[in-house]
Amino acid sequence: MKACIKRGAKEIGGSAVELTATNGERLIVDLGLPLDAEENTADLLPDIKGLKQKTDDLLGILISHPHQDHYGLVLHIDKSIPIYMGEATAKIMDVCIKHNLPQAFTFENQHIFESYKPFNISTFKITPYLVDHSAYGAHAFLIEADGRRLFYSGDFRAHGRKGKLFDYLIKNPPKDIDVLMMEGSCLGRELSEKYPSEQSLQAEFEKVFKQTKGAVFIQSSSQNIDRVVTIYRAAKKNGRTLVMSGYTGHILMALNNPHLPSFKWPDVKKFATDSTMPHHITKEMIEKNPNKYVIMLGGPIFNILKNGSLINENTSFIYSMWEGYKELYQERLSLMKEKQVPMFDIHTSGHADIPTLKQFAAALKPKKIVPIHTFFPEQFKEMFDNTELHKDNEIFEI
Ligand SMILES: [Zn+2]
Ligand SMILES: [Zn+2]
CB count within 10 Å of CB 21 equals 19
Q: Are 13 and 34 in contact (CB under 8 A)?
A: yes
Counting ligands in written order, which one lies closest to the CA of residue 184?
1
- For ligand 2, the distance from its centroid to the CA atom of residue 67, given in whole angstroms, is 5
Q: pLDDT of 27-46, one tens digit each?
A: 999 999 999 999 999 999 99
> For 198-345, CATH number?
3.40.50.10710
- For ligand 1, the distance from its centroid to the CA atom of residue 114, given in whole angstroms, is 21
Query: Would strands 216-219 and 293-296 be described as parallel, antiparallel, or unpaired?
Result: parallel
- For ligand 1, the distance from its centroid to the CA atom of residue 197, given in whole angstroms, is 19
Stated as kind and residue range, the H or E segment containing 293 is: strand 293-296
- For ligand 2, the distance from its centroid to the CA atom of residue 56, given in whole angstroms, is 30
Q: pLDDT of 249-292, one tens digit each?
A: 999 999 999 999 999 999 999 999 999 999 999 999 999 999 99
Question: What's this model's pTM, rounded to 2 decimal places?
Answer: 0.96
Q: pLDDT of 97-150, one tens digit each?
A: 999 888 888 878 999 999 999 999 999 999 999 999 999 999 999 999 999 999
Q: pLDDT of 380-398, one tens digit each?
A: 999 999 999 999 999 999 9
Please check the confidence at residue 212 and state whether its pLDDT lies above 80.
yes
Q: How far is CA 188 from the centre of its chain?
A: 20
Strand segments (E) across 69-212? 83-86, 110-113, 119-121, 124-131, 138-145, 148-152, 179-183
- For ligand 2, the distance from its centroid to the CA atom of residue 134, given in whole angstroms, is 7
Spatial separation of the C-alpha atoms in residues 178 and 168, rounded to whole Å: 21
| Segments making up each domain of the chain, as ranges | 2-190+350-397, 198-345
Task: Categorize the per-residue pLDDT at 190 as very low, low, confident or very high, splitting at 50, 70 and 90.
Answer: confident
Q: Is 268 exposed, middle or buried (0-12, 13-18, 19+ CB in 10 A)?
A: buried
The closest of 7, 3, 2, 1 to 373, measured between CA atoms, is 7
Q: What is the percentage of the chain residues whose pLDDT exceeds 70?
A: 100
CB count within 10 Å of CB 39 equals 8
CATH topology of domain 2-190+350-397: Metallo-beta-lactamase; Chain A (3.60.15)
- For ligand 2, the distance from its centroid to the CA atom of residue 116, given in whole angstroms, is 20
Spatial separation of the C-alpha atoms in residues 37 and 60, rounded to whole Å: 24
Q: Which pLDDT score, from 0 to 100, does residue 103 have?
A: 80
- For ligand 2, the distance from its centroid to the CA atom of residue 74, given in whole angstroms, is 16
Q: How far is CA 38 from the centre of its chain?
A: 19
- For ligand 2, the distance from its centroid to the CA atom of residue 250, given in whole angstroms, is 20
CB count within 10 Å of CB 247 equals 20
- For ligand 2, the distance from its centroid to the CA atom of residue 118, given in whole angstroms, is 22
Q: Are 187 and 180 in contact (CB under 8 A)?
A: no
- For ligand 1, the distance from its centroid to the CA atom of residue 398, given in whole angstroms, is 22
